[in-house]
């Protein structure tokens, strides 16, 4: 590596994820990519475009539409000594493989008394915002974060899209990576030598003193755009969770202990969501630091409507974040 820092280059979240997969395939012969239309079609979100031509059909394997079988096969191959990356097209189809993920991937290590671990990575797209209506717009990463035995990552930045995969592949246990559909076209700078990042800690993307905005994945951008807050003299700290399991409780409590207020932004439905869990942990760990009850900005509890204005109304937005925070801060004149 040259002594000086290699110049950052313009790239996208999608490109960063493709580089991550490509790097893993080059570095470790045990790594292979398996999923619906990942080969000839180049990936439903074009993340794996060009990989079939470079690595061949043995390591870039298109699968039949049999989520339970190919996710189960991924688990078996991991048991058999491989390092599979299984791509489920979207979280919506992962429901068909829920049994394999919950009853096999997350549980075999425990049932076998520690004999068999499953070094498997499953990637899937999540979230709404592109008028795909109810069946194609779910945001269920919060569900998966309920399950002991697996880890849940939500990369929201280019560094994380580029750096999380390799660390996940080294993990001896199953890691699920949720990529929000609206992030693929996110542009930004990324140093050419960008590489693996840690996957067990949250990150403070914007320090602040008055309120902790806690969020992840597709809603991080919205939290960072809440400029009106600074216009109103409210100094918001934005915490990017990066991992929903394990949840980085220490960073959350540290932030809330300083700001004494918390607003959690979560695209999931409010009832039984990851935001509910975070709110409970803040209540348990920082009750005496709170100057106001924890607030949550979540999706409306409705199957995602098709019409644009309706979908917009259902989803958490910058203005909902600003209103919630302003209300919480009381009239600051």
Partner 1 sequence: MPALGADMEAGTILEWLVKPGDAVKRGDIIAVVDTEKATVEVEVFDTGVIQEIIVPLGEKVPIGTLLALIRSDGEAAVPSAPKPTPAAAVAKVTAAPTAAPPAAAKPLRPQAPPRAERPAQLPTPPAAPGRLRISPLAMRAAVELKVDLSSVKGTGPHGAITRADVARAAKAPKAPPPVPPTAVARAPVPSAAAPAAAGAPEISAAATQRRAAIAPEERREAMRKVIAAAMARSKREIPHYYLGTRVNMGRAMTWLQAYNLQRPVTERLLYSVLLLKATALAARQVPEMNGFWVDGAFKPAGAVHVGVAISLRQGGLIAPAIHDIDKKPLDEIMVNLRDLVKRVRAGVLRSSEIADATITVTSLGEEGVETVFGIIYPPQVALVGFGKITEQVWAADGMLGAKPTVMATLAADHRASDGHRGGLFLAAIDRILQEPDEL
Partner 2 sequence: MALETDLTQPALERDRALARLREMLRIRRFEEKCAELYSAAKIRGFLHLYIGEEAVAVGALSALEADDAIVATYREHGHALARGVSAASIMAEMFGKREGCSHGRGGSMHLFDATARFYGGNAIVGGGLPLAVGLALADKMQGHARVTACFFGEGAVAEGEFHESMNLAALWKLPVVFFCENNLYAMGTALKRSESEVDLSLKAASYEIPAWPVDGMDVIACEDAARRAVAAVRGGAGPYFIEFRTYRFRAHSMYDPQLYRSKQEVEQWKTRDPIATFQARLSESALLSEADLKAIEDDVAQEIAKSVEFAEAGTLEPVEDLTRFVYSERTPS
Catalytic residues: 67, 136
| DSSP3 helix / strand / coil % (the chain, rounded to 5) | 40, 20, 40
Question: Shortest gap between Cβ of 98 and partner 2 (angstroms)?
Answer: 11
Q: Which two tokens stand for residue 288?
A: 């005496």
Q: Count how many residues are written for the chain.
A: 333
Binding window for partner 1 (CB under 8 A); candidates: 155-163, 181-189, 205-213, 282-290: 282-290
- Tell me if 158 sits within 8 A of 183, measured CB to CB: no
Three-state secondary-structure class, residue 100: helix
Question: For residue 13, which of 142, 181, 167 has the smallest C-alpha distance?
Answer: 181
Query: Which residues from 137-166 bind partner 2, rule CB under 8 A?
Result: 148-149, 151
Can residue 281 be called a binding residue for partner 1 (CB under 8 A)?
yes
For partner 2, the binding residue among 52, 71, 156, 213 (CB under 8 A) is: 71
Can residue 297 be called a binding residue for partner 2 (CB under 8 A)?
no
Can residue 135 be called a binding residue for partner 2 (CB under 8 A)?
no
Can residue 288 be called a binding residue for partner 1 (CB under 8 A)?
yes
Can residue 254 be called a binding residue for partner 2 (CB under 8 A)?
no
**Residue 161 vs 256, nearer CB to partner 1:** 256
**Residue 99 vs 284, nearer CB to partner 1:** 284
Question: For residue 139, which of 241, 242, 266, 268 has the smallest C-alpha distance?
Answer: 268
Strand runs labelled E in the chain: 8-12, 31-35, 60-62, 83-90, 121-126, 151-153, 175-180, 187-191, 203-206, 211-215, 236-240, 243-245, 262-269, 295-299
For partner 2, the binding residue among 70, 166, 184, 269 (CB under 8 A) is: 70
For partner 2, the binding residue among 6, 9, 135, 170 (CB under 8 A) is: 170
- Tell me if 242 sits within 8 A of 156, measured CB to CB: yes
- Contact string 172-201 vs partner 2 (x = CB under 8 A): xx----------------------------
Question: Shortest gap between Cβ of 20 and partner 2 (angstroms)?
Answer: 20
Pairwise CA distance, residues 144 & 124, whole Å: 12
**Residue 145 vs 253, nearer CB to partner 1:** 253
Can residue 35 be called a binding residue for partner 2 (CB under 8 A)?
no
CA angle 149, 221, 269 (to 5 degrees): 55
- Contact string 238-257 vs partner 1 (x = CB under 8 A): -----------xx--xx--x
Q: Which two tokens stand for residue 185?
A: 């076209």
For partner 1, the binding residue among 284, 301, 312, 323 (CB under 8 A) is: 284
How many CA atoms, within 13 angstroms, populate the side-chain half-sphere of residue 220? 24
- Residues near partner 2, by CB under 8 A: 30, 32, 58, 61, 63-64, 66, 68-82, 84, 99-100, 103-104, 108-117, 119, 148-149, 151, 170, 172-173
């Amino acid at each position: 590596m040259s002594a000086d820092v290699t110049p950052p280059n313009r790239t996208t979240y999608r490109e960063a994820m493709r580089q991550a997969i490509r790097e893993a395939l080059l570095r470790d012969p045990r790594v292979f990519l398996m999923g619906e239309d990942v080969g000839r079609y180049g990936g439903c979100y074009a993340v794996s475009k060009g990989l079939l031509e470079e690595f061949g059909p043995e390591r870039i394997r298109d699968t039949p539409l049999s989520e339970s079988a190919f996710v189960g096969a991924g688990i078996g191959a991991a048991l058999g000594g491989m390092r599979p990356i299984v791509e489920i097209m979207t979280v919506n189809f992962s429901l068909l493989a829920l049994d394999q993920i919950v009853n096999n991937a997350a549980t075999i290590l425990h049932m076998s008394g520690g004999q068999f671990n499953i070094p498997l990575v499953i990637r899937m797209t999540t979230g709404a915002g592109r008028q795909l209506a109810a069946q194609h717009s779910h945001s269920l990463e919060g569900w998966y974060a309920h399950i002991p035995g697996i880890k849940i990552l939500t990369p929201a930045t280019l560094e994380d899209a580029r750096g999380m995969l390799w660390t996940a592949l080294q993990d001896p246990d199953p890691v699920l990576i949720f990529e929000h559909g609206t992030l693929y076209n996110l542009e930004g700078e990324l140093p050419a030598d960008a590489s693996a990042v840690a996957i067990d800690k949250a990150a403070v993307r914007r320090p602040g003193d008055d309120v902790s905005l806690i969020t992840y994945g597709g809603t991080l951008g919205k939290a960072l755009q809440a400029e009106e807050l600074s216009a109103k003299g409210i100094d918001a700290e934005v915490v990017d969770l990066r991992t929903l399991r394990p949840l980085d409780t220490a960073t959350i409590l540290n932030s809330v202990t300083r700001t004494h207020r918390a607003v959690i932004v979560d695209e999931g439905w409010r009832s039984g969501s990851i935001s509910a869990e975070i709110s409970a942990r803040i209540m348990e760990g920082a009750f005496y630091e709170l100057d106001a009850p924890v607030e949550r900005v979540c999706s409306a509890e409705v199957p995602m409507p098709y019409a644009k204005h309706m979908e917009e109304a259902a989803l958490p937005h910058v203005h909902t974040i600003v209103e919630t925070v302003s209300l919480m801060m009381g009239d600051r004149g």
